[in-house]
Amino acid sequence: MSSSANHNSSTVAPKAFGVPAAELHANAGDTPATTSPIRHIYVHIPFCARICPYCAFYKDLLDRSQTWRFCEAILCELDGQRTCFEISPKTVYFGGGTPTALTTSQLEFLVEGFCERLDLSSLEEWTMEANPGSVSARKATLLRRLGVTRISLGVQSWEDNLLKVLGREHSAQQAEQSFYLLRRAGFTNINVDLMFGLPGQTTEQWELTLEKTIALQPDHISAYCLTYEEDTEFFLRHVRGEFRQDADTDAEFFEMAMAILEHAGYEHYETSNYARPGFSSVHNHAYWFGKDYVGIGPSAVSTVGMRRWQNVCDYRTYIDRVLCGQSPRAATENLTDEMKRMERIALSLRTRDGVSASELKRFAQETNEFIALGLLRKSNGNFVLTQKGKAVADSVAEAFL
Ligand SMILES: C[S@@+](CC[C@H](N)C(=O)[O-])C[C@H]1O[C@@H](n2cnc3c(N)ncnc32)[C@H](O)[C@@H]1O
Ligand code: SF4
């Protein structure tokens, strides 16, 4: 069985969960009727100062001649969504790409635009992804002042040689400076993204990266196993045999992360996510437990009721369409109860709370086998992965799909 301690696209939601975008119908459908307000918004900012060779998220090289038009289009799409739904968010998540690749004035325009347009009286968490190469004291102070509450900082590794392999635009020292700068700007909820299973990475290096991260005392840590995503340079190098992946080594990295981070007081609340008590991500919980959310920006996915749709990926097409009053939707699909059930099982199995026993009733044989193998246990009426089971979470989930 392969390690499932991998990067989970659901954390940032630019992709449809379990549904390749190409399988969504190319026809934009009607807006689903909903009586309750939308509580979760995802905003996709696709620009990056440099393209990392392992990354499959929708992104493009930063083109400063397009960014102001892009910001206008984002607010214009938000206005359109507000005519369809009542939006009173508990969480807002700006992901990418790299939101901090925008200038301070553009971020101010966007964040203020959201504040002016939305009822934020229920807001609990406003996250912005940041790249250490594009964080400045001015930007950080402004974001905090305008109401962003949480920063997700893409550190990946504290080893400069590995950052070079990853094609990152920053050094380890810059990442550390960015972390402190964010703290000084008043952010009391900071996530650090780390990656393991990297080409040439040793367990000693991974241990040092974990220890160094703990020493900084972030509030949340996401630890993703490198996945070789199709259409990336890393995938080609993997296929050519230059970069090898070993499931046993990945499992060892994953187990080290669990042991070291839990020992340091971080709760392992989802396969790839660890948090100090009280700091698990509210936005991610919403995805994992099947809540409705609206996605804004190129490639963003929305799910409301039994309807899911995705915006066009190409950001230039996105801007052109939105600014001339057309819908940016590229594809819509109707979900079935069975599809929703499958997603619920796959996503909630990765969480600390697990899956309710009633959901797995018709899989008695499989659950008994996993219990006998020491991969699953029963707790408070739910089936929950054991420590051993967490390392193979996706393989266990597959048996139920
Ligand atoms: C959208 S990116 C983060 C924001 C920012 N652009 C950055 O790179 O710092 C979200 C996170 O996904 C993880 N990630 C991206 N591609 C990955 C891959 N192929 N395998 C595993 N993790 C990946 C990285 O940890 C990254 O920080
Ligand atoms: S900076 Fe982040 S979003 Fe951009 S290419 Fe690199 S990993 Fe992907």
Q: Residue 119: which CATH number?
A: 3.80.30.20
Please check whether residue 307 lies inside any domain of the structure. no
Taking CA atoms only, the protein residue closest to ligand 2 atom 1 is: 48
Boundary-marking domain end, from 238, 271, 288:
288
CA atoms within 13 A of residue 193's CA, in its CB half-sphere: 21
Helices 137-146 & 172-184 angle (0-180, nearest 10): 40
pTM of the model: 0.92
Which of 9, 12, 47, 52 has the most ligand 2 atoms within 8 A of CB, as the residue to mutate? 52
Q: Which helix (H) or strand (E) holds 191?
A: strand 190-196
Please check whether residue 299 lies inside any domain of the structure. no
In this structure, the answer to whether residues 241 and 388 fall within a common structural domain is no
The tokens for 75 are 């607010």
* Ligand 2 midpoint to CA 242 (Å): 22
> What pLDDT sits at residue 391?
86
> What pLDDT sits at residue 34?
66
Please check whether residue 293 lies inside any domain of the structure. no
Largest CA distance in the chain: 60
In this structure, the answer to whether residues 282 and 374 fall within a common structural domain is no
**Domain that residue 110 falls in:** 9-288
Please check whether residue 324 lies inside any domain of the structure. no
* Ligand 1 midpoint to CA 227 (Å): 10
Buried b (16+ CB within 10 A) or exposed e, 48-69: beeebebbbbbbbebeeeebee
Boundary-marking domain end, from 271, 288, 305:
288
Counting atoms of ligand 1 from 1, which one is nearest the CA of 195? 25
Please check whether residue 96 lies inside any domain of the structure. yes
Boundary-marking domain end, from 239, 266, 288:
288
Taking CA atoms only, the protein residue closest to ligand 2 atom 8 is: 55
Taking CA atoms only, the protein residue closest to ligand 1 atom 15 is: 55
DSSP bridge partners of 223:
194
* Ligand 1 midpoint to CA 56 (Å): 9
Q: What is the pLDDT along the chain (401 residues), one digit of tens a residue?
A: 333 334 433 333 333 323 333 333 334 445 676 668 999 999 999 999 999 999 999 999 999 999 999 999 999 999 999 999 999 999 999 999 999 999 999 999 999 999 999 999 999 999 999 999 999 999 999 999 999 999 999 999 999 999 999 999 999 999 999 999 999 999 999 999 999 999 999 999 999 999 999 999 999 999 999 999 999 999 999 999 999 999 999 999 999 999 999 999 999 999 999 999 999 999 999 999 899 999 999 999 999 999 999 999 999 999 999 999 999 999 999 999 999 988 989 999 999 999 999 888 888 999 999 999 999 999 988 999 998 898 888 889 888 88
- Which-ligand-closest: CA of 152? 1
* Ligand 2 midpoint to CA 110 (Å): 21
Please check whether residue 328 lies inside any domain of the structure. no
In this structure, the answer to whether residues 377 and 261 fall within a common structural domain is no
Domains in the chain, number: 2
Taking CA atoms only, the protein residue closest to ligand 1 atom 23 is: 7
> What pLDDT sits at residue 30?
59
Counting atoms of ligand 1 from 1, which one is nearest the CA of 54? 19
- Which-ligand-closest: CA of 46? 2
- Cα four-point dihedral sign 166, 195, 97, 151: negative
In this structure, the answer to whether residues 47 and 174 fall within a common structural domain is yes
In this structure, the answer to whether residues 383 and 251 fall within a common structural domain is no
- Which-ligand-closest: CA of 250? 1
CA–CA separation, 73 vs 45, rounded Å?
11
In this structure, the answer to whether residues 247 and 143 fall within a common structural domain is yes
In this structure, the answer to whether residues 144 and 227 fall within a common structural domain is yes
